[in-house]
Amino acid sequence: MRNEAEVIARITELKANLLIVEERIQEELKSHHSKWNFRLLGFLKKEKEIWEFALGQLEWLTSDKTEHE
């Protein structure tokens, strides 16, 4: 099993990835809606959901661990 420092480092990486995806979404939405790439936006939406889920699971893992100690 990974130690807590490794899990926290991974949480930080996931937050950075999530921020990148959110920035790309905002960048795409800045253009006029007729020029939006809906395939890209759909992909980024799914990507964001995956990063959010992974982040939530790791945050739950670390919060659960600290509550029982």
Q: What is the mean pLDDT of the chain?
A: 88
Domain that holds residue 29: 1-64
What's the confidence (pLDDT) of residue 67? 52
Looking at per-residue confidence, does 64 or 20 come out higher? 20
CA distance 62 to 65: 5
Is 69 part of a structural domain of the chain? no
Cβ proximity of 25 and 37 under 8 Å: no
Average pLDDT over residues 14-38: 95
Is 30 part of a structural domain of the chain? yes
Take residue 62 and report the two structure tokens written for it. 């670390």
What's the confidence (pLDDT) of residue 64? 57
Is 36 part of a structural domain of the chain? yes
- The whole-model pTM stands at 0.77
Is 16 part of a structural domain of the chain? yes
Is 4 part of a structural domain of the chain? yes
Is 46 part of a structural domain of the chain? yes
In this predicted structure, the answer to whether residue 5 has a pLDDT above a threshold of 70 is yes
Please tell me the total count of domains within the chain.
1
